[in-house]
């Protein structure tokens, strides 16, 4: 297949530098044809639009500072699947980061285990450059990075003063295109470091922007490389470690979330776990192991698999999707289910708003697809639910709860958690009426048996913000960000059944002075996983 890779051509930028590494890995090892499109502004995109549209899919090396000039309409205008390569996220924000722009997203964090189809993690790319051991006259500690807050270069000076009678500190702080073009902040940081040093600590400073090979050789010339970043929740992976691992020198790290991917596989490199003596004794073994794991070839192979999955999902008919919005094409496809409900429970059916019946029709279709009569099934909110009554008429035995008649989900959960598990749980347009929707989702997930499936619908409006107008009976409407950010973290041992596309469609339902539509949420409990997962 033909892959268009869109990135900003700026060189002095970590995001752009990482994009160049991805391009090189794909061009060297991918089984696909990869063409790079450097875009410095909207005019470059307009000039390249037709060529990008001629590719099978497009990958956007996206950060608001580098490609922020592209709108969702721009990205969709090519008519091809768009994959966003993300850079600023942590385990909490990864599910929502840029979900408004990209249905398919890649995070460059190999430690992220995604509960969300359409969000993939890939290996880091460590340059495979041969290096040799240094021969320094005094113990030499190296570090590098841009002159941004939280790098704590001064703490490295203090650390050296505590641990060595004499040491050399090599600070490489290049100018940054986006935050320090003239090097002013870098020079200030170095001046602050010099003020801390006494005659036992020698400081070397360099600020030119190095090539990948030159940077690795700078790091390989040190007896120890050290990065003492602050913990910065919400930040992505720092690429400095790709080069430090490539240098194959002893490596000492703070417990910053920006190094989380290394902590998952080499905890011995962290100073809160290993004293300096142990890190030095371990030598180069940890970096050599990581360098062999995070190769350009491994990254390219992973990306090729993702590209194939994206194309296969993009080609799926709308009527085969289960995490979507229920627009008119699905109303047509689900018309036979509406007729069943009308025949089997006509008294209730006639009381429903006609254009809202698609929700019960969807639930009915999914329950019959995934559950058999005799399976343990739970309906949460059965008052006037035509899907529930139709399933009863068709022979399903269903436990049913509703605060109008017996109990709400919270009361049921407190009574039966650990005592009952269900093969299927469904809830039609109930969640927008409950006070604590996150607990609602969490309790459903915990009540599922291994392999069990949950099927929900909800009132949805992608542009909804707290405080906006809503139907009188609702407590809120839902958006992609709320579903992914609030619900996915509560899916104990569960995973969405397919890639969601909730934000791709315009509202088509009017009620109580509001215009919105209906979203579906379908997820499955992993096999052999219970609620302590």
Q: What is the pLDDT of residues 317-358, one digit of tens each?
A: 999 999 999 999 999 999 999 999 999 999 999 999 999 999
Q: What is the pLDDT of residue 259?
A: 96
β-pair type (514-525, 494-496): antiparallel
Q: What percent of the chain has pLDDT over 70?
A: 98
Helices and strands of the chain, counted as H and E runs: 20, 18
Q: Where are the beta strands (DSSP E) in 122-197?
A: 140-144, 167-172
Q: CB of 172 within 8 A of CB of 204? A: no
Q: How far apart are CA 307 and CA 187, in angstroms?
A: 43
Neighbours of 138 (CB within 10 A): 12
The answer, yes or no, to whether residue 178 has pLDDT greater than 70, is no
Taking the C-alpha atoms of residue 229 and residue 235, their distance in angstroms, rounded to an integer, is 12
Percent of the chain at pLDDT exceeding 90: 85
pLDDT(531) > 60 = no
Residue 177: pLDDT band with limits 50, 70, 90: low
Q: pLDDT digit string (tens) for 54-102?
A: 999 999 999 998 999 999 999 999 999 999 999 988 888 899 999 999 9
Residue 330, token pair as written in the block:
């699905």
- In the predicted structure, residue 303 carries a pLDDT above the cut 50: yes
**Residue 510's pLDDT band (boundaries 50, 70, 90)?**
very high
Say if residue 265 is exposed, middle or buried (CB neighbours under 10 Å; 0-12, 13-18, 19+): middle
Which among 75, 77, 83 has a CA at the least distance from the CA of 57?
83
Q: Would you state the pLDDT for residue 530?
A: 46
Residue 27 DSSP SS3: helix
Helix/strand/coil percentages in the chain, nearest 5: 40, 20, 40
359 touches 518 (CB < 8 A) = yes
Helix (H, G, I), strand (E, B) or coil at 358: helix
Strands 167-172 and 201-206 come out as parallel
Sheet holding 104-107, edge to edge: 33-38, 2-7, 57-61, 82-86, 104-107, 119-121
Length of the chain: 533
What mean pLDDT do residues 12-37 have?
92
pLDDT reported for residue 528: 62
Residue 497, pLDDT > 50, answer yes
Tell me the C-alpha distance between 303 and 21, whole Å. 13
3-state secondary structure of 400: strand
pLDDT at 185 over 50: yes
User: Quick one: pLDDT band at residue 533, thresholds 50, 70, 90?
Assistant: very low
What pLDDT is recorded for position 221?
Answer: 98
Please check whether residue 60 is in contact with residue 75, taking contact to mean a CB–CB distance below 8 angstroms: yes
Distance, CA of 212 to chain centre: 27
Q: DSSP code of 461?
A: -
The contacts of residue 22 (CB under 8 Å, 6+ apart) are 5, 59, 61, 85, 125, 299, 303
Band (pLDDT 50/70/90 cuts) for residue 209 is: confident
CB 235 within 8 A of CB 145: no
Number of C-beta neighbours around residue 142 at 10 A: 25
HSE-up of 139 (CA within 13 Å, CB side)? 14
> Mean pLDDT, to the nearest integer, of 472-479?
96
What residues pair up with 459 in beta bridges, in sequence order?
518
Angle, helices 296-314/14-29, rounded to nearest 10 degrees: 90
Q: DSSP states of 258-278 as a string?
A: GGHHHHTT-GGGBTTTS-HHH
**Model pLDDT for residues 216-239, shown as the tens digit of each residue:** 999 999 999 999 999 988 889 999
Q: Which is higher by pLDDT, 31 or 234?
A: 31
Is the per-residue pLDDT at 168 higher than 90?
yes
Tokens representing 89? 């996220």
CB 3 within 8 A of CB 307: yes
Tell me if 437 sits within 8 A of 408, measured CB to CB: no
Instruction: Compare 297 and 13 and report the one with higher pLDDT.
Output: 297
Say if residues 359 and 309 touch (Cβ distance below 8 Å): no
Q: CA nearest 217: which of 193, 190, 244, 191?
A: 244
Mean pLDDT value across residues 282-305 = 96
Task: Tell me the C-alpha distance between 441 and 117, whole Å.
Answer: 18
Q: 103-107, 175-179, 363-367 — which is least confidently predicted?
A: 175-179
Q: Is the pLDDT of residue 518 over 70?
A: yes
Residue 176's DSSP bridge partners are 180
Q: Is 283 left (phi over 0), alpha (psi -120 to 50) or beta?
A: left
pLDDT of residue 10: 75
Assess contact for 134 and 140: CB atoms under 8 A. Answer: yes
Exposure on the CB side of residue 345, measured as CA atoms within 13 A: 23
- Interhelix angle 240-247/212-220, rounded to 10 degrees, is 60
Strands 398-401 and 224-227: unpaired
Q: Residue 437 and residue 132: Cα distance in Å, rounded?
A: 57
Contact 82, 102 (CB under 8 A): yes
Give me 278's structure tokens.
């142990």
What does pLDDT average to over the chain? 94
Q: For the chain, which domains are there?
A: 2-125+297-314 (3.40.50.2300), 140-294 (3.40.50.2000), 318-525 (3.40.50.150)
Q: What are the C-alpha distances in Å from 243 to residues 17, 235, 239?
A: 12, 19, 7
Which residue, 298, 244, 252, 249, is CA-closest to 155?
Answer: 252
Please tell me the number of Cα atoms within 13 Å of 154 on its side-chain side. Answer: 13
């Amino acid at each position: 297949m033909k892959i268009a890779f869109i990135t900003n051509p700026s060189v002095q930028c970590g995001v752009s530098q990482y994009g160049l590494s991805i391009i090189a890995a794909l061009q060297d090892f991918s089984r696909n044809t990869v063409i790079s499109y450097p875009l410095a502004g909207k005019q470059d995109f307009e000039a390249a639009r037709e060529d990008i549209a001629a590719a099978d899919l497009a990958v956007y090396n996206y950060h608001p500072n580098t490609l922020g000039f592209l709108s969702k309409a721009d990205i969709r205008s090519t008519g091809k699947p768009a994959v966003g390569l993300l850079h600023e996220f942590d385990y909490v924000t990864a599910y929502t980061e840029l979900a408004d722009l990209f249905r398919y997203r890649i995070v460059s964090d190999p430690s992220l285990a995604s509960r969300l189809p359409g969000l993939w993690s890939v290996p880091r790319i460590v340059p495979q450059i041969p290096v040799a051991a240094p021969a320094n006259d005094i113990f030499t500690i190296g570090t590098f990075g841009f002159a941004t807050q939280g790098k704590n270069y001064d703490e490295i000076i203090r650390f050296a003063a505590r641990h060595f009678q004499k040491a050399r500190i090599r600070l490489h702080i290049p100018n940054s295109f986006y935050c320090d073009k003239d090097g002013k902040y870098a020079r200030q940081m170095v001046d602050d470091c010099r003020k801390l040093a006494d005659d036992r600590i020698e400081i070397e400073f360099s600020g030119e922007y190095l090539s990948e090979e030159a940077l690795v050789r700078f790091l390989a010339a040190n007896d120890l490389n050290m990065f003492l970043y602050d913990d910065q929740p919400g930040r992505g992976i720092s690429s400095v470690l790709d080069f430090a691992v490539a240098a194959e020198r002893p490596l000492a790290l703070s417990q910053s979330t920006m190094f989380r991917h290394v902590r998952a596989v080499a905890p011995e490199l962290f100073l809160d776990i290993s004293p300096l003596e142990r890190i030095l004794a371990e030598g180069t073994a940890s970096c050599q192991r990581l360098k062999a794991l995070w190769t350009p070839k491994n990254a390219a192979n992973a990306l090729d698999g993702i590209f194939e999955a994206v194309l296969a999902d993009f080609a799926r008919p709308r009527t085969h999707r289960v995490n979507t919005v229920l627009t008119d094409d699905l109303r047509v496809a689900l018309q036979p289910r509406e007729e069943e409900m009308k025949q089997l429970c006509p008294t209730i059916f006639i009381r429903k708003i006609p254009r809202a019946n698609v929700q019960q029709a969807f639930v009915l279709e999914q329950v019959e697809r995934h559950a058999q009569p005799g399976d343990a099934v739970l309906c949460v909110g059965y008052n006037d639910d035509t899907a529930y009554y139709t399933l009863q008429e068709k022979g399903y035995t269903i436990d049913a709860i509703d605060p109008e008649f017996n109990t709400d989900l919270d009361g049921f959960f407190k009574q039966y958690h650990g005592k009952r598990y269900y093969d299927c749980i469904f809830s039609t347009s109930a969640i927008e009426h409950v006070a604590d929707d996150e607990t609602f989702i969490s309790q459903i997930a915990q009540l599922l048996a291994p392999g069990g499936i949950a099927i929900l619908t909800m009132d949805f409006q992608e542009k909804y913000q707290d405080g906006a107008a809503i139907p009188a009976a609702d407590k809120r409407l839902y958006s992609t960000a709320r579903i992914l950010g609030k619900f996915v973290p509560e899916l104990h041992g569960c995973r969405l059944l397919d890639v969601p596309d909730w934000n791709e469609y315009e509202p088509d339902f009017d009620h109580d002075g509001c215009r919105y539509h209906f979203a579906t949420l379908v997820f499955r409990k992993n096999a052999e996983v219970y609620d302590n997962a």
